[in-house]
Amino acid sequence: MRLFDFPRAPNPRRARIFIAEKGLDIPKVPVDLYHMEQLSPEFLAINPLGTVPVLETNDGSYLTETVAICHYLEKLQPEPVLMGGGATEEAQVLMWNNIVEQNGLFSVAEMLRNWSPGFSNHVFPGSLEYEQMPELIERGRRRSEQFFDQVEIRLGESRYLAGEKFSLADISLLAITDFARWVELDPPASRMALARWYREVSERPSSGA
């Protein structure tokens, strides 16, 4: 197996943390997004969407979505359980992970991609050009704050995002919470429950993956 990776991006980090939690040793292939290597013909032959991470499996298949990669590794290496044990836990993990992606990752990305000069004419992944719309930065900020307020309420009720066990949902939230600093947000600073959770999960060895 090989993981096509870019260290600074949140989605590859989610995959790396998951891999570290599983105790797996998977070689990494760097893809330099700053130099647009994800749009090279060689990489697009692997993933036409031009995104990372990508997991090349032992049978030569390519998995191009983070949750699909994690699901595959969960089946390959069931312990420790990171995607829920039983129907209810599995559904809770997937539900909260989806909330993090849809409400958290996308809103922070909306800010960054319409603000950073590095995304000029490439607001969305892939080879097609889309121009930045600076007026969307404030909308992204409001959506981000709303998301972290929702998470604050949840973490006031539950040790971890999907329940009492650390899971993929927490991995995703950790990556997005740190990602928010790219747009000068500090979500734990004004949210006590999130700050408590953040301290705990940041102390896990996998957080540095």
Architecture of the CATH domain 2-76 = 3-Layer(aba) Sandwich (3.40)
Question: Using one digit for the tens of pLDDT, what is the confidence trace for 63-81?
Answer: 999 999 999 999 999 999 9
Question: Using one digit for the tens of pLDDT, what is the confidence trace for 195-205?
Answer: 999 999 999 99
CA distance 161 to 40: 37
123 Cβ contact list (under 8 Å, min separation 6) = 113, 114, 130, 131, 132, 133
- What single-letter DSSP state applies at residue 100? I
Stated pTM of the model: 0.96
In CATH, 87-208 is 1.20.120.1200: no
